[in-house]
Each structure stands twice: as structure tokens, then as C-alpha cells.
Structure 1
């Protein structure tokens, strides 16, 4: 009886259990039907995921182009080496050492390093390995070289990379991206990354259980969007001339820095911009300098600032070119201001001559006696020196105007104390070229959307101020023209035959980083020149600054600057056909006369060649076989410069040195071994031995120089810097700026 009851209870319990189980299943079925969701996943998505397959459609990063559409930066395929190690694969690396030896002949990797990658992978039983960073992002040509080795187990993974076809070319302007384009750094690549960056698309299609596309089904395509293209105002031909000239000067003089800007004087378009040190964006791991000095480095400009003081004085009606003043030095409060020829000056001269000679005293008097500090500061603001120019490049800085003490206006008038950038000087100088209207510099010409085939941005000429009148601009150009063309002018080294150049030189002292005052020594200067041409209707502006070049005793600061300015200005005007001369592409590659090694040659045999190149030859000695010459082999000589050629070991006849520059005197001394004492700066007007006097190596000769000398040979530089001994002759607190 109890057994039957127990069985009945168990049967009822089992029934209830099954009932609840089926009730749960039924409830779950009803829930799924209603919610269409399983474990938080929608059924439609699960089905879609099972039967659908997606693939990425890659977009391309936008290109950077020059003004003529020449590609400066683009996306190209690159290749990474992969070594298959698994012996179950059809082709795999069987002999690691042999494979490493073969690959090392193409890759810049030692065979031992490659072998280590391979053997480590084999020991860890890996299917495949990469061979390190130097085996990634290879060019197509390198990939082909490796393929030609026909190595078992060596495969390639293709991926895009950024490529800069011109190598070291406006590098601080362009910037760079990481090789895998994961991040844009520096320059336009960084600043305009939102425009340049691509958007990948997607293609979705239906597949069967074997992952094969199903027939008669639609593909869903989200098209990729390529990045926008940036077209610059940079002209590749002009930029190439600039880069080559900069490299020549960098190699020859090894300065701390060089910076240069070439601009269309009428529109503000930047045609060329370069810095040294520079870099190849394809090899960004070797970058030494990350700063675009032309926009991000402010420094005391030296006498190029006198252009704007002059313009302010003319505009205010207080400049009389024929009024005279006593040059040399003058006291202003507790500070004595001296001219750059050790304070000797040139006697009582006109303000016109003061401009030509770059007299500090002239400009200090203009401000102190006539213009006044407030007016000077007003004009510096009108010329934009307090603000950034707004050029479309990252990390631009504005100027710092010195105005804390009364003396600051005096020193600012000739370029000391106040700090500005090269691009600010370019913008300010456009006012002289445009009848008083100042034009904003710009470097982006257009931004193009290749997906819609339309221009989304168009750069254009923009006047930002009118600091001076047309009459003032014209008078400033006239005076700056005489700085280059006059026999008194400090700008004579920048003259170009057949061209009317207007401009202003600058030689700026460098503040001492650890103590008050400035660094001393002949080499501690920034030498610069701002020039425009043609003078009557300027079309091109060129600014060049060379910081602390390594100069020989016979060399002066204007030499490295002129070796950039002259070829760049001349060939830019020729290329743009502004001079009326034909544009010859070959001229774009020629930045001067490169000196051969003439030692052992006949003097008479090479005279014609040198004279055809426009070189002035001064023979030293009475022989014909050339023993030595200066400048030497591989140096660059521009037309009108001088070469000294030694043809015997002496005794020598003292030449007539009247009109020689300090540089030429030092060349003569270097070749002959004659001990020459040089007194003063400028050009020789007196020597203690008559020409024709015999002198031997070790003999003594003394010459006196003066900037007032009328030149009979090429003007080398009327702005010779002070050496340490000469600076010691003047009391602390005096200023020398040319």
C-alpha cells in the first residue's frame, strides 16, 4: 500500500517537473518570438553575422602638391618582409643562416641580426616572424631585389606609407607622418591632418557556410573617402634653387642655423621656405631640428629693422635726407651708441649717407631728436611686429618689442633689444612693394576635395594694413636701392649685375644665455639681408639669415648670406621671366662657379676660362705653373669675385692693394706667408710698402682700411664685424650694430 502511494507521488512529481520544463521552453520560445533577442544579441544580427561578410575599402591620405601640381607628399605601397618558419607550409625557411646572409646583401641589417630573428622564431615554434624595423616599409625596388634572390619562405605584406619624393625639400613646411601613417607630426601634415586624413569604407556581402559569396545577392558598399589635397604656393623650381644654395652654404660655413624665405612681393605667396639644419621626411628618425625658424624663432634682427624706423620717420615728415649729423658715437642718457666701425664714424655726413652706411647713430638720433619713442612703437605695431602674421603653418610666434626702459626705443631703432621673426619681416616689407599696403603672407593656395572634385578653400591676396603712404614706400625703396648700389652702401655684396636691388643688411649680436649683455667674438652674430627686386616695382622678396657661420680670417659675414641671396634672387627673377631674360631650366641648377683644382696647371691656360666665368684673377709671383690658389677647390665663386693664384715661392713684389677688402688682404697673406697687420675695417687706402717692393715669406706689411674708400674692385663687405680684441677697445654699454 505504501509502495503504491510512493510510486504515485513520484509519478506526480515527475509530471510536474516535466510540465515545468516544457513550460520554461515554451515561455522562452514566446520571449524569443516577441523580443527577437538571445543572450542580449538580436537574432537578426546573429543571422546577419553568420551569413554576411565585410571587407574594408581603404581610402588614401590626401596629397600635398606644389603650385604647379607637382606631388610633394603622397601615399604609396610599401612592403614588410615576413619569414615563414612552419615546415608544414609549402615554402618555408629551411636554412636560417643562408637566408640571413642573402637578405643582408639587400637590407641594411647585419646577417647575425637577421639570423637571430629567424632562430628565435624557430626555437619558439612560431609560424612566421618579421625581421625588425629595418625590414618594414620597404620600397617596391627593394622588395623586387629581395624577390630576385628567390628565397624559400620569404613573403611580403603590402601596406601604405607616406612618401616625400623631393627628399630634403621644404621639410619643415611639409612635416611628416609616421611610416604607418598612424600619426601626423610637424608642419602641414599635422596642422591640416583633419583635411588630409582619409575615411575607410566597407563592402558587405552574403556568404554560404563555406564563406563563398551567394549568387543573386546584393553587395552593400560604403565608399571610402580619400583625404583632401593641399596645393601650396611653393614653386618647386624656386625651392630647389633655395635648397641647393642653403646646402652649399651649410657645408662650407657650418653655421648654427640658416633660414630663408622667398615671397611674391605683390601677393604675399610664399614661393620658397627653408631652414638648416633640415631633414629628409622619409627618414624622420634622424631629425636634429624640429623648429621652422622662419616662423617659430624670434631674434634681434639687427639693421634690417632700420627699414621700418626709416619708413616711420619719412611718413611723419621728419626725415631730411640732406640734413647732416656727426657720425661715430653719441651719448643717450647713460648709454653710448656707436657706429659699427669701432665708433670712428665717417665725420659729419648726411642722413642719406647714414642710411647707406647703416649708421646706428643716425637712427638713434632720428628717434631721440625727432620721431619719439611712442611714434616708433606705433609704427612697429602698424607693421605687424607685435602679432603673428597668421600664415597657415603651426607654431608661429609673434614679436617681442622692448619698451621697458627709455633706451629701448633707441636700440630698437637699429634692431637691438626687440625680437621678431623672419616671416614678420617679409610681411612688413610687402608694404614697400605695394605702395604702402601690407600683404599677409600665405602658403596654402587651394584645398581640393577629390571625392566631390571641388575646391573647398581658395587662398587669395589679403591686405592687412596700410602703415605708410605710397610716397613713403617709393622713397624708402629709393634709399634702400642706394644701400646696394652706392659706393658707401653696406649692401654692395648683394648687388646683381643687370638688376636693381633694394635692400638692407643686418648684423645682430646674440644675447648671452647665462649673463647680462651679448656674446663676444667675431663669429657670434646673425648675419642677414632683406632684399627686393626690381627696385621700382618689386615682384620678389628674399630674406636670408645665417647664424654664427664659421668664417676664415679673410671672410666676412655678408659672404655666406650673399651666397644664398644672390643666386636665389637672380634665378627666381629669371625663372619668373621678370627680368625680361629667357627662362632657362638649366639655370635653375647653377648656383655659382665651382672652383676646380688648378694646382699644376698653366696660369695662361686657365685665364680665359676664369675671365669668361666673370672671376677677377690676381696673380702672385712671376711664374706660370700654379702652386696654390684661393678660393680653393670646390669653393663657390660668383661673377665679379676675386681669385688669388700663386705661381712661385717668392720673393714677391708687393701689389698695389688700394681698394682691396680685408678678405682679399688675408688671402694674400695666407698664400705668401707675409705677416700683414690690418688696421681698421672696410677697404685699403694706405700701405706702408710701395707696390713693386720685394718681400719674402715672413716679411712684414701693414695696411690701413677705411669704409670711406672708393672701391676699384668688387665690394666684399662694408660691414666687417668686430673681433674680440677690437671689441675690448670700447667701454661696456656701447652698441655696435650694422
Structure 2
């Protein structure tokens, strides 16, 4: 009995010990957790907070890119993505998939059958509507809403938008729509400045996700990207884009590049290329190269202005000295003038400059300067180094400098190759009294949140290759290229303004490196001009690669169609008026920087005054007094430009057909109404009929078409009767072709023959002609 009792006590003690041990371990663990607040490496406070706290991202906005006047060229805007609710248990759902697909498919670029199948799916609450329903503009969203289809909903999201469409596209570059990648141009080069930093908002909530009465919010504010202001002038750029589009459609060249620069500062006021692209439609880009900075070409005779400058600076140029034009021997090769090597007999060097004689400039280099001195000026004008312009992917020159032949042909623009921006930088030395200015396109970078500029550009000298006296004499000589009796630059004359410049007809190396392309118009035609010649403010360089010219046209035709309007517009916005007669002087005085204040006049007086100044008045309203105007008083306009006049009466819609996008924007700004547009070019359609009252609410919506698109539309609307006339004409052409079958093909030069450009020059003709001819034999090292 005693033994049993003892055993029971022992078991009880053991059990008590075990229980006590477990209790002690548990208590120790509780104390550990209370003190350390951690279980299996996880912080208990964080776990509890995560269950009751939610975090939402706060979006930072990408910086805007502006032109020099503050007009947005690239900006972040709100876009809309459409989706469809197809669950029949939900009140607002697609009721008739077939009808909805029929109405909606044209607006989202999806086949009707495919869309109907999408909307007819079972066991789905909602469906996305494809890429055509994403990133919609407000006008596109409103067009879908007008269909009044039950079940169509929208979500809002930011996207990158380029309001001017095809506009300085290679300068701006682009991002993808949701701005997750910066792929080209300034968008990529300045991505660190433009890119925002997102923030977040954290707050406490209950199990249903509803914020608590004391949510304990923690806000990490987002930081918007910095804004970038360019030197680009939208007025000049607009004229440049329009002129280049016209030439591109008319002459179908291989490519075009053009640069407009402030001669005093190096600011780039305009820059464009063809082919170009609309950054809003970046999937269709075919040309990613900014030819102005990333493509080097043999400059042709535009190079002669720098050879001339070197000769004058060295004191070895005598314009009245004569030489025998036509041909010139260098080592084992022969230089030829562009008229099949015939030349113009014995002429002086000034006439050789006007006629763009290759022989004259080869002799200047080899007999006057010497190869070493010539190449020292190549260095001084900055041709061996990139300019350092603030655009990505700038390439450098390729200079042939191994012997006298290289020096001789480089002196008139062959063998060595440079980028257009290198040529423009060098030209600033001639325009700016010897001081060469570094080109730049970014004026300043502004941090809106801190309200300060984080970067401000200043004009920067790139050297002084020549003296002010030499620069002045070079400009005087180059002015005769445009106005002189024998000048090849006559098509670049602008009434009332003296232009100094040099034409160029550059050859193009073949793809296999065996020599130059041969055949009619297988050249790059160019012009480098500055104005006014006595004290240039503007430099314009234009190069057109292999345009399709008809038999009566020279290479200057497409180039001048870009250069002339751009130079005129640029000088106008620099407040430089042509020197014309008294009547025209009054026009430009009145329409210069001190534009007339029409708001002090009656409607009739304003119309008469505007017309007397050569402006085109657009009166908006039926009142008798002018209340506002655009451009405002004090702004700069040119003769032939529209002046928008708002009266005190009801606003009446004008006929906008043929207006430029710039005019349309001014009109919408005058009325303080949003403008929405599609396409590029000129206005072809408008949502408010002409002569109708303009409603207080709503936007002005227009459709733009290029001249080529307009011509195609007109051709499609022609009567079928015209087709029979065309058929008859085609039959006649076929008969003529049959009759010419026996003609021999044009013979190509055999080895050892002197190769010539396929150009002809009429001594009596007023238009310019292509200048250069290649070498008789082109050594491999000069290519």
C-alpha cells in the first residue's frame, strides 16, 4: 500500500515537473515575443500593420517639353481605355453583341465579326476591346459615348502626347504611350530630367477596406519630372515642316534635312528631316536618324565658302586675278568644272566663285594656301570634332587628308564628309564676324516644384577661325553668288533682303564603295544661306537628296522652295523687315514688333486697316466693335498672315478650309475653346458649319489633310467620263513608246573617260544649275 502511494506521488511529481517545464518555456517565449516582437523572422508589428494598412501609389507627372515661347511640344495627358461588361447579371451590360459590334468596330479598328465574338463570350464579367480601344483621346472617347451602347465603360490613364503631330520629331524623339520607355531624341537624352519619381499614400482601414476614423495617413509625395524649354521657334518650325512636306510630296527625294540657326547665338530655331514621323504613331517609324547631327555627307560647293574664308584670311585671295577655267591636273587625276570641263575661258576668281568653279578652288588650295594651311583651317572651323550639340547620337566627320589630291578636292566639297550641324556651326563664324558659336537646342530646364531653373544655357563660343574683316569680305563675296551676273544662287533671292550664301551639288558614294553614283539627279542639292548679308541674324541650311526633277528643273528648285519661305518667316520673327518701297515699308513697320491695336477700332475700320497692311482679317462675330485680337498688339506678324478679330456680337463660324494648324490654334485661343484635330497638313473638315453660330460649350474639331491627300481625294471624286480620256491618253503614250523601241540607250562612260554630272547650264538662264563634276579618276582614299 505504501509502495503504491509512493509510486503515485512520484508520477505526480514528474507530471508536475513536465507541466512546469512547458509553462516556463511558454512563459519565456511569450516574454521573448513581447520584447523582440518577432516570430520566425517576421516582425509582428509589421504583420499587424499590413493587415490593417493599405498603400496606394501616387503618380508623378513626366516633364513637359516646350518651345521657346512656352507652347507644349510633348506633354503628359489623360487618355481613356474602353472595355465592355458582358455579364448579364450586371445591370449595365452589353445587351446586343451584334449591334454593338457593328456600331463600335469602325471606331476601334477591329473587325466586326471578331468584336461580336469577343462580346458574346460566356462566364466572363468584362472584356478588353483590343489595342484600338486603348489610349483614346477625349474626342475619341466622346465619339464612342455618342453611340450610347450599354455596357461600354472607360478607365483613365496617363499617356505621352505630341500635340503638333509631325513636328521636330527627330529632335523631340518619343516615349512609348505609357511612358515606361524613352526611345529616341530628347525624350531619351534628357530622360533623367523628364522622368518623375512616384510617391505613395498609406492609411489604416477596416476589414471591408474602409478608412478608419483616424486613418493615420502617411504620404510620400511624388516628384514630377522637370520641364524642358527648347530654342525651337514653333512659328519657324511650322513653316519649315510645311515647306518640307510640300517638297517631299512633289519631288519624292530620298531624304531631306534642314537647320535654322540664330547666327549670333548658335540657338537652333528649327530642325527637321524627311522621312519624318508622328511621335503619337511611333510604331510606323521608318527613319530613326536625325540627319542633321547623325549623318555625314560630302558637302559639295557649300564647302567653298570656308575655303574662300581661309584664302582671304591668309591674304592670298585676289578676286581680280585670272585663271584658265575648265580642267586642272592634280597628280594623276584631273579636276573638271561642272559644264563638262569646258569652263568659261580665262576668268577671274570672283567670277569663278559665282559660277562655282571647282578649278578655281582647287587652285586656291594647292597654289595659294598649300595643303597644310588648308587643313589647319579645317581644324579651326571645327570640322574634326563634333559640335557637342545637346542632341543624342551626334556623329563626327570623315576627313581625307593624305595628299594634295585630298586637299584639292576637299577644298570644293568632295572626298571629306561632314554633318550638316558641323557646316552650320562653321557658318556662324562667317555670319558672326569671325566668332564661331556652338549650336544648342535646350534653352533651360525648370523644376516646377522648386520653382527654379536647374539648367540655363548660355551662348558659347567655339573659336575664332577668321577675323571680323575677313568675315565681312566673305559675306560680300557670297552675296554676289545670289545677286551677281553669273551667280548660281539666283533662285534664293528674296525681295528686299540681301542673302549671302553658297549652293552645293554633292556626289553620293555608292554602297559598295567603288566610287560615286552616276546618272541624272543622283546628287544631294543644297544651299547654305545667311541674311541680311551685311549683318546676318539667321542661317538656313537645306539639303535635298536625289529629288525627282523634270527635264526643265535644276536642283535648286526643291531646295529654294524650302529655303526661301523659311528665311522670310525667320527674319520676320526676328523683326527684320525687307527693304522695299515706302508702301511696303509701312506694312512691315505696322506689322512688325509694334503690331496695330485693332481693339481701338470699329469692325469696318479694323478690316480696312488690316487689308491695307497686307493682312487677312478674319472677323468673328456680328458686332460693330473689336473686343480682342490675335496676334495681340505688339506681336510680330508678316504680310499675308491672318489676323483674328473678335467683335462684341455673337460668334459666327468661318470657313476654315485650307487653314494651317497654326491658324486653327489661334482661332480656338481667341474663342477660348479647346481644339481637337486629326491628321496633318491643312484643314479639310470642321465640326461646325461655316456661317453657323459657335456654341458656348464644346470643342472645335477639325480634320487635317496634306496636299497630296487632298489631290488623291479630288481624283477619286472625278467623273467616270474622265477615265475614258485617260485611257485614250495612255493608248497614245503606248504608241509613242512602241515607236521609240529602236532608240539606243544612253552610253555609260568607259574606264579612263572623264566622268561628268548629268547637268546642263544655260548661261542666259536666271535659275541656278548644279555645279560640281567629279574627278576623272577617283582614288580609293578620297571616297
Bucket of the pairwise TM-score, normalised by the shorter protein: 0.7 to 0.9
Question: What secondary structure, in the 3-state scheme, does the structure 1 residue paired with 2:551 have?
Answer: coil
RMSD of aligned alpha carbons: 2.7
On the 8 A contact 1:338/1:734 being kept in 2, the answer is no
Alignment TM-score, normalising by the size of structure 1: 0.79
Q: Tell me: CA distance 1:280–1:589, structure 2 relative to 1, closer, same or farther (3 Å).
A: farther
**Cα separation, 2, equivalents of 1:302 and 1:318:** 23
Q: Tell me: CA distance 1:104–1:353, structure 2 relative to 1, closer, same or farther (3 Å).
A: same
On the 8 A contact 1:495/1:501 being kept in 2, the answer is yes
**Cα separation, 2, equivalents of 1:567 and 1:3:** 122
Q: How does 1:633-652 map to 2 (within 5 A)?
A: none
Q: Who is 1:39 aligned against?
A: 40
Q: Who is 1:599 aligned against?
A: none
The correspondence for 1:177, drawn from 175, 178, 185, is: 175
Q: CA deviation at 1:98?
A: 2.8
Q: Who is 2:401 aligned against?
A: 403
Question: What secondary structure, in the 3-state scheme, does the structure 1 residue paired with 2:107 have?
Answer: coil
The correspondence for 1:718, drawn from 769, 772, 781, is: 769
Q: Who is 1:622 aligned against?
A: none
On the 8 A contact 2:79/2:136 being kept in 1, the answer is yes
The correspondence for 2:457, drawn from 456, 459, 465, is: 459
On the 8 A contact 2:337/2:771 being kept in 1, the answer is no
Q: CA deviation at 1:560?
A: 0.4
Q: Who is 1:584 aligned against?
A: 637
Q: Tell me: CA distance 1:315–1:146, structure 2 relative to 1, closer, same or farther (3 Å).
A: same
Q: What CA deviation, in whole Å up to 9, does each residue of 1:451-495 have, x standing for no partner?
A: 111111111111110000011101100100000001201111111
**Cα separation, 2, equivalents of 1:509 and 1:309:** 19
Q: How does 1:469-484 map to 2 (within 5 A)?
A: 469-484=467-482
Q: Who is 1:629 aligned against?
A: none
Q: CA deviation at 1:90?
A: 3.1
On the 8 A contact 2:175/2:182 being kept in 1, the answer is yes
Q: How does 1:613-692 map to 2 (within 5 A)?
A: none
Question: What secondary structure, in the 3-state scheme, does the structure 1 residue paired with 2:108 have?
Answer: coil
More moved, 279-288 vs 508-517: 508-517
Q: Tell me: CA distance 1:37–1:479, structure 2 relative to 1, closer, same or farther (3 Å).
A: same
Q: CA deviation at 1:586?
A: 6.9
* Alignment pair present for 1:505 and 2:506: no
Q: Tell me: CA distance 1:490–1:93, structure 2 relative to 1, closer, same or farther (3 Å).
A: same
**Cα separation, 2, equivalents of 1:50 and 1:634:** 63
On the 8 A contact 1:337/1:734 being kept in 2, the answer is no
**Cα separation, 1, equivalents of 2:171 and 2:641:** 21
On the 8 A contact 1:447/1:456 being kept in 2, the answer is yes
Q: What CA deviation, in whole Å up to 9, does each residue of 1:426-465 have, x standing for no partner?
A: 1000001111000011111110001111111111111110
Q: CA deviation at 1:346?
A: 0.5
On the 8 A contact 1:336/1:734 being kept in 2, the answer is no
* Alignment pair present for 1:74 and 2:67: no
On the 8 A contact 2:335/2:776 being kept in 1, the answer is no
Q: Who is 1:97 aligned against?
A: 98
**Cα separation, 2, equivalents of 1:310 and 1:362:** 10
Q: Tell me: CA distance 1:10–1:523, structure 2 relative to 1, closer, same or farther (3 Å).
A: farther
Q: Who is 2:49 aligned against?
A: 48
Question: What secondary structure, in the 3-state scheme, does the structure 2 residue paired with 1:106 have?
Answer: helix
The correspondence for 1:361, drawn from 342, 354, 359, is: 359
Question: What secondary structure, in the 3-state scheme, does the structure 2 residue paired with 1:82 have?
Answer: strand
More moved, 195-204 vs 316-325: 195-204
Q: What CA deviation, in whole Å up to 9, does each residue of 1:345-373 have, x standing for no partner?
A: 00001111111111000010111112111
The correspondence for 1:248, drawn from 226, 246, 249, is: 246
* Alignment pair present for 1:437 and 2:438: no
Q: CA deviation at 1:97?
A: 2.6
Q: Which runs of 5+ in 2 are unaligned?
A: 579-587, 592-635, 644-657, 659-707, 712-758
On the 8 A contact 2:529/2:541 being kept in 1, the answer is yes
**Cα separation, 1, equivalents of 2:522 and 2:94:** 60
Q: CA deviation at 1:143?
A: 1.3
Q: Who is 1:562 aligned against?
A: 560
Alignment TM-score, normalising by the size of structure 2: 0.75
On the 8 A contact 1:556/1:720 being kept in 2, the answer is no
Q: Who is 1:285 aligned against?
A: 283
On the 8 A contact 1:557/1:720 being kept in 2, the answer is no
Question: What secondary structure, in the 3-state scheme, does the structure 2 residue paired with 1:529 have?
Answer: strand
On the 8 A contact 2:354/2:481 being kept in 1, the answer is yes
Q: CA deviation at 1:129?
A: 2.0
Q: How many residues in Structure 1 have an aligned counterpart in Structure 2? A: 616
On the 8 A contact 1:84/1:129 being kept in 2, the answer is yes
On the 8 A contact 1:437/1:467 being kept in 2, the answer is yes
Q: Tell me: CA distance 1:355–1:155, structure 2 relative to 1, closer, same or farther (3 Å).
A: same
On the 8 A contact 2:308/2:474 being kept in 1, the answer is yes
* Alignment pair present for 1:63 and 2:64: yes
**Cα separation, 1, equivalents of 2:760 and 2:372:** 39
Q: Tell me: CA distance 1:547–1:706, structure 2 relative to 1, closer, same or farther (3 Å).
A: closer
More moved, 27-36 vs 6-15: 6-15
Q: Which runs of 5+ in 1 are unaligned?
A: 595-631, 636-703
**Cα separation, 2, equivalents of 1:210 and 1:326:** 97
More moved, 92-101 vs 242-251: 92-101
Q: Who is 2:304 aligned against?
A: 306
Q: How does 1:722-737 map to 2 (within 5 A)?
A: 732-733=777-778
Q: CA deviation at 1:13?
A: 5.9
The correspondence for 1:520, drawn from 515, 518, 523, is: 518
On the 8 A contact 1:57/1:224 being kept in 2, the answer is yes
Q: What CA deviation, in whole Å up to 9, does each residue of 1:492-549 have, x standing for no partner?
A: 1111111100000000110111142111001210000000000000000000000000
On the 8 A contact 1:388/1:396 being kept in 2, the answer is yes
**Cα separation, 1, equivalents of 2:642 and 2:245:** 13
**Cα separation, 2, equivalents of 1:585 and 1:488:** 32
**Cα separation, 1, equivalents of 2:139 and 2:97:** 24
The correspondence for 2:233, drawn from 220, 232, 235, is: 235
More moved, 497-506 vs 7-16: 7-16
Q: CA deviation at 1:147?
A: 2.2
Q: How does 1:312-351 map to 2 (within 5 A)?
A: 312-351=310-349
**Cα separation, 2, equivalents of 1:496 and 1:291:** 32
Q: Tell me: CA distance 1:5–1:343, structure 2 relative to 1, closer, same or farther (3 Å).
A: farther
**Cα separation, 2, equivalents of 1:459 and 1:407:** 42
On the 8 A contact 1:301/1:508 being kept in 2, the answer is yes
Q: Who is 2:700 aligned against?
A: none
**Cα separation, 1, equivalents of 2:763 and 2:710:** 33
Q: Tell me: CA distance 1:706–1:43, structure 2 relative to 1, closer, same or farther (3 Å).
A: closer
Q: CA deviation at 1:705?
A: 7.9
Q: Who is 2:211 aligned against?
A: 213
Q: Tell me: CA distance 1:86–1:12, structure 2 relative to 1, closer, same or farther (3 Å).
A: farther
Question: What secondary structure, in the 3-state scheme, does the structure 1 residue paired with 2:119 have?
Answer: helix
Q: What CA deviation, in whole Å up to 9, does each residue of 1:651-695 have, x standing for no partner?
A: xxxxxxxxxxxxxxxxxxxxxxxxxxxxxxxxxxxxxxxxxxxxx
More moved, 215-224 vs 389-398: 215-224
Q: What CA deviation, in whole Å up to 9, does each residue of 1:538-596 have, x standing for no partner?
A: 00000000000011111111100011001111122123221262343674699xxx9xx
**Cα separation, 2, equivalents of 1:335 and 1:525:** 22
On the 8 A contact 2:260/2:540 being kept in 1, the answer is yes
**Cα separation, 2, equivalents of 1:203 and 1:45:** 17
**Cα separation, 2, equivalents of 1:586 and 1:114:** 53
Q: Who is 2:108 aligned against?
A: 107
Q: What CA deviation, in whole Å up to 9, does each residue of 1:625-670 have, x standing for no partner?
A: xxxxxxx9999xxxxxxxxxxxxxxxxxxxxxxxxxxxxxxxxxxx
On the 8 A contact 1:299/1:419 being kept in 2, the answer is yes
More moved, 263-272 vs 7-16: 7-16
More moved, 128-137 vs 245-254: 128-137
Question: What secondary structure, in the 3-state scheme, does the structure 2 residue paired with 1:403 have?
Answer: coil
**Cα separation, 2, equivalents of 1:135 and 1:454:** 39
Q: Tell me: CA distance 1:286–1:401, structure 2 relative to 1, closer, same or farther (3 Å).
A: same
